[in-house]
Amino acid sequence: MKKKKNSFWEFFSSVKLALFCFFTLAIASIAGTIIPQKESPGFYIGKYGESTAEMFRLLNIPDMYNSWWFLSILSLFSMNLIVCSIDRLPTVWKLVTMDNLATKVNRLEKMTPRIRFGTKQPKQEVVAQVEQTLKGAGWKSSQGEREGGTLLFAQKTPWVRFGVYVVHLSILVIFAGAIIGTLYGSKGSIMLREKNVAPYFFEFGSSEKAMLGFEVRCDNFKLTYYDTGAPKEFRSDLTVIDGGQEVLKKSIVVNDPLQYKGYTFYQSSYQAYEEYWVTVQNQNNGAKKTFLARPGVELKWQEAGINLGIVNLLQPDRWGRYRLKIWFSDGKGEPSVFWLDGETLVSVERSDAAYAFNSKQVYATGLQIAKDPGVWPVYIGCTMMLLGLVIAFFLSHKRLWVYIYEEENKTRILVAGSSNKNKVGFENMFNTLVEKLEDNETLQLGKE
């Protein structure tokens, strides 16, 4: 990697740049939470004055998070992640795959923790015993002859050194998902009145119509309340019509959307109208008709010879309960005038038939519509991030060397270890292992 180490490369691989990005992104984000975003130009003039508003406009402050400069910092941050990972990976790769049996004995002499023992036992016996003890403690060792002695080496989880790069990569994967979403995704909303059909929706930001390629119909919208008067549920019964066929029906609520052909329909708001669906049924012959009724407008059911209308109205209270006063005539005798209590069924006796009435307020459901093919990359990135963080923070690459050599008619044992993280924890583990060696009666170790 040496040849690449020019100043450009160094700049992009530096931690300084990472810290600079964190800092500027944080400061800019703070500004974005204080200055309201995506308001009308008039709003900024009214709130901050003409000249400040103009400056805001030039710097894209009203849509800061999508501004050229904010995206530039994010690009710089991505470059930083890529270059620093490319810069450091070869070294880490070497650390993970290196032949640790080639470690020089004088390097072991400088490691902490390390400890030296001596024993009268023959070297061959000592090597076998140490290997056994290590194995018993979960350290499978390999061995080689070095500088006249035998070197045993064992390690645990060398791959955890890649953990931090998994985290770095996860951020890039999330960014990639976000870019895919921006390029190929589409988001918007529509206010869809009951019984109406929408082949399109209005995209956010452009208010242009985006065609769905199929149609969605709102069959019914229902708003329910808790006893306290707080809204309990917004529910829309939706039908998807594709190629003239009803292909999917689903009742959606907030947190439970409908999905079809890459589009997801979310319950987001509603609108109530001062209009009512009034259903009349002749209970003798079963004939039934639903009218869209506005107060003060007379309705006709030609075939049945019926006229009716809403002559008075009590507005909905905080539980959505309303009352309609209905005027009804079937042409036989005096017309009936009576109250309909919200959605409850009311039966009215006429001279030659009984009629059942009920009503429902007319609503439009506010749907949020999204198609975002970048969501899966984002989720994969998030999973990678959590896994990577756990690996990078809580697992360590532990290495253990035991060098056994003969000197002055004695067999000497040098135990040394190193861990890339959590030195305190590693030292405890090292000491436990050393105790096991000391407890081995065949070895008869004496501290030196």
Partner 1 sequence: MDSSKLLGITTFIYLFSSMIYMIMFIFRVKKIGMLATVATIIGFLTQTAGIGMRWLESYQMGIGHAPLSNMYESLVFFSWSIVILYLFIEYIYKNKVIGAFAVPFAFASMAYASLSPEFSSAITPLVPALQSNWLIAHVFTCFIGYAAFAVACGTGIMYLVKSLDKGKSPGSLLATLPSLTAIDDITHKIILFGFIWLSGGIISGAVWANSAWGTYWSWDPKETWSLITWFIYASALHARFTRGWGGKRIAWIAIIGFLAVCFTYYGVNFLLSGLHSYGG
- In sequence order, the 6+-apart residues with CB closer than 8 A to the CB of 434 are 115, 415
- Asked if 431 touches partner 1 (CB under 8 A), the answer is no
- Asked if 232 touches partner 1 (CB under 8 A), the answer is yes
Containing 80, the helix (H) or strand (E) segment is helix 68-97
Measured over all CA atoms, what is the biggest interatomic distance in the chain, rounded to whole angstroms? 130
- Asked if 180 touches partner 1 (CB under 8 A), the answer is no
Amino acid letter, residue 440 = N
**Cβ-contact 63, 55 below 8 angstroms:** no
- Asked if 65 touches partner 1 (CB under 8 A), the answer is yes
- Asked if 413 touches partner 1 (CB under 8 A), the answer is no
End-to-end, the C-alpha distance of the chain in Å comes to 43
Site for partner 1 in 139-168 (CB under 8 A): 164
Q: Between 371 and 399, name the residue whose CB sits nearer to partner 1.
A: 371
Of residues 268, 209, 218, 264, the one with CA closest to residue 239: 218
Strands across the sheet with 323-329, in order? 299-301, 306-314, 323-329, 336-341
Tokens encoding 219: 């069959």
Rounded to whole angstroms, the Cα distance separating 400 from 431 reads 12
Rounded to whole angstroms, the Cα distance separating 143 from 151 reads 5
Site for partner 1 in 207-226 (CB under 8 A): 226
Residue of 230, 286, 302, 409 interacting with partner 1 (CB under 8 A): 230
Shortest distance in whole angstroms from residue 323 CB to partner 1: 26
User: Side-chain half-sphere of 51: how many Cα atoms within 13 Å?
Assistant: 0
Residue of 382, 410, 427, 444 interacting with partner 1 (CB under 8 A): 382
Residue of 346, 390, 438, 444 interacting with partner 1 (CB under 8 A): 390
Shortest distance in whole angstroms from residue 310 CB to partner 1: 30
- Asked if 22 touches partner 1 (CB under 8 A), the answer is yes
Total chain residues near partner 1 (CB under 8 A) = 47
Site for partner 1 in 238-257 (CB under 8 A): 253-255, 257
Shortest distance in whole angstroms from residue 389 CB to partner 1: 5
Shortest distance in whole angstroms from residue 48 CB to partner 1: 17
- Asked if 353 touches partner 1 (CB under 8 A), the answer is no
50-58 vs 41-48: helix crossing angle, rounded to 10: 130
- Asked if 57 touches partner 1 (CB under 8 A), the answer is no
- Asked if 187 touches partner 1 (CB under 8 A), the answer is yes
Name the segment binding partner 1 (CB under 8 A); options: 41-49, 322-330, 379-387, 409-417.
379-387
CA 74 to chain CA mean position, Å: 19
Distances (CA, A) of 348 to 39, 55, 257, 284, 336: 54, 69, 40, 12, 8
Shortest distance in whole angstroms from residue 91 CB to partner 1: 13
Query: Binding residues for partner 1, per CB under 8 A?
Result: 15, 18-19, 22-23, 25-26, 29-30, 32-34, 37, 65, 164, 178, 187, 226, 228, 230-234, 253-255, 257, 264, 266-268, 368-370, 372, 375, 378-379, 382, 385-386, 389-390, 393-394, 424
